[in-house]
Amino acid sequence: MALFSSKQKPSEVSVVPEHIGIIMDGNGRWAKKRGLPRQAGHVTGAKVFRTIAKHCEKRGIKVATFYTFSTENWKRPQEEINAIMNLLREYLKESLADFKKENIRTRFIGDRSMLAPDIQELMHEAEEATANKTGMILNIAINYGGRAELATAIRAIAAKVKDGTLDPEAIDEACIEKHLYTADQPEVDLILRPSGEYRLSNFLIWQCAYAEYVFDEILWPEFTTKDLDNALAVYAGRHRRFGGV
């Protein structure tokens, strides 16, 4: 049962968000419902991610940010964390070649310092390989947290003030945005979260100041391009006032 509705049909949608954030949720529950280990849900969810990312580009979205692994996910069982990291390695080694065929620029946002050196190197190679693409920017959020992102930005700004290269009076919203992982990208227009949860979960908390939200009970491994089209139809039917009338 979807938790949203729209008067527009997906085929009639003419307005699409510039930047969409997707919280890929429900992998573990999907596996549990089928008597499978949680890792099986992550494997299926990774396949869905590739399909949905390509469909975002096809629909004309300029930036798509996928919440892959949060700063809080380290609290999960070590076996599950290891499985996720191994899946990430597999994706970077094999699946990324699939995106090289697409006009998609891949970027990773989050704190890489806690990731294994080989994963960090693969992430760097992936970004370099797609740096000259001119189509959609694909942000993959790994070891990402909105609060941690703001703390990182504040430390960078404070360092500039300390060394005299930045006047404290010059610190405004634009200054802060330039120090975020998503610097020079448009603000988030739409947040999409399947799995029946109604939380932002520390995802893009600065960038989502005026984002629209669409929630769905579908678990991520069951999510389809049709579900994305339905969410875009809902977004197109919203009247965004940005504090005005």
Answer whether 46's CB lies under 8 Å from 87's CB. Answer: yes
* Helix or strand (DSSP H, E) at 83: helix 78-90
Catalytic residue among 25, 189, 216, 227: 25
**Residue 139 is among the residues annotated as catalytic for this protein:** no
The answer to whether the beta carbons of residues 195 and 220 sit under 8 Å apart is yes
Question: Would you say how long the chain is, in residues?
Answer: 245
Query: Which pairing describes strands 190-193 and 19-23: parallel, antiparallel, or unpaired?
Result: parallel
Q: Which amino acid is at 6?
A: S
In angstroms, the CA 40 to CA 37 distance is: 6
Query: What gap in Å lies between CA 69 and CA 25, rounded to an integer?
Result: 10
Q: Exposure pattern of 222-245 as b/e (b: 16+ CB <10 Å)?
A: bbebebbebbbbbbbbeeeeeeee
Alpha-carbon torsion 216, 219, 220, 225, what sign? negative
Judge contact between 107 and 140, C-beta under 8 A. yes
List 27, 73, 118, 202, catalytic entry: 73
Is 73 annotated in the active site?
A: yes
Coil, helix or strand for 167?
coil
Annotated catalytic residues are 25, 73
